[in-house]
Structure 1
């Protein structure tokens, strides 16, 4: 079953996850080294920009610069995902259950720009450096996330299979526009299938391809929500 060009194998309605072959283990080790090198270099290069953004966030509304939210990590373990704060403090949703919508009144003026350009996600480079996340992988979801008005694992019975790899700053689903609200059941299901197709077909070349698509679509064209 193709997912934007990547094959997803389902047997009796369940995904067939790749076994930890020596090649896959070696590629995952190289992936981690690349994560460390890239995130460290990016944090150093972006430091002046981070300082400027921090000033604008503080000037736009009272409250902390960063927002930490519990999300599902590898094997479902909780991780604290970092973002630049884009909402008014008294309207922030720590659980992540209340998804952002277009023209959301909770979002500050500066926050709208940060979200549109996906700059609010850049502090997650710290999560990547720590090892909580990877540059590329399934996006980290909030615990108890709803899709189509029901718990995600009710809509997609094999939902937890996406936790077989570390969550990523970007991923195959996000690179193909499957991000934002999950109120549409078909799109919500497609997001999980794209994540699983990535896990099944993982390679370093695929990661580089997703990085290029993400930079081109989100940071250069500003397609974030």
Structure 2
């Protein structure tokens, strides 16, 4: 009986030791799992802190860019405010320039039409006297052709002034040519022609009214002296084809 009791006591002790060993192993496994989880959490915290620092840095840079952009926007708005009145003045000046060019174009066309009509009359007078009135040198006609084709490119005011000088030179050349043609037409043959012109309208055939084409009012009988005087007045009075408003615009007043 005593031996049996000792055997049972030894078996219970081994069972207790085995259970304790198993519990210790389980506890070690749990502790290892906890340590692993702790390490993972630490790595995740470190990564999250790095990301937070990067986002914070990006936000700082973005704020600085926003401030710079606001400054640039303000500068642009201020520049626009400065340019707005300048644009208005430029638009007004361009309108004045276009108006002046329109005046030049209109009067230039009138001048050339009158000039061609005058040359037709002078040539017909030269043919009636058996001679032909000579025109001015070819260079002036080439310049005339350049002016006829209008202003092309470049500074508008500079081009206009240059053409104005060309027209003044043409006026001087035409004045000399008119003197020459009048001298050619002052011949005995022309005297007979003048006698015929001075006859009443009913005694001569109907002809185109050259004076009306030239813009002159009907007056005394047409002679070379009469035409020369009228042409001198028309050429000398440049305001007939070059208005004072254009010269005022060119001078900048």
State the TM bucket, normalised to the shorter chain. Answer: under 0.3
Structure richer in strand, relative to its length? 1
Q: Which has the larger radius of gyration?
A: 2
- TM-score normalised according to structure 2 size: 0.23
Structure richer in helix, relative to its length? 2
- TM-score normalised according to structure 1 size: 0.25
